[in-house]
A and B are shown apart, each in its own frame.
Chain A
């Protein structure tokens, strides 16, 4: 069974760094793109970017370029989304998804709360 399991909720202060994860199982992790999606409280979905774990080819949406870093460690079948300096406006639910079969598989989401 294909699964994407995301790391748990985080509460951080502005200016702190953070790295959240998305671990894939039940398939060859290096063969499919992993995408990240943001959903701010009460708002819609926003496409952040994607990574191909096979060669770490990474593409960012313009709104997120330079704001976050997407990476992957294929040795442990895990993709990451990280911030070097969080802002209150980064408070959101973050989802990862796998590109196979029309982005059929999604993680459960990681809630990130940034508050002083």
Chain B
């Protein structure tokens, strides 16, 4: 059974940093592109970033490029999102998701975790 468990969310002040983690099991992690999505409270879904199986390709939505960094550790079956210079508008539930198929960064997500809440507020 595929399981994706996010952690690392919490309350942080504007300008602060957080590192999200996603622990994966139930599938061969190192053969899948992985994604981060987010959903602001009461709002719709937004893709944030994704990373190729071997980490040689990474893509970001414009609003986070230069502030967020996606990475993975295939030995630990884990995905990460380092978030720096956080803004109030980054407040959201952050989901990791594996991929049903992917074409050069254009990925159709498959299974999603339950999410971790990031709140940016002073």
Q: Say if A and B assemble together.
A: no
Name A's B-contacting residues (CB within 8 A): none
Name B's A-contacting residues (CB within 8 A): none
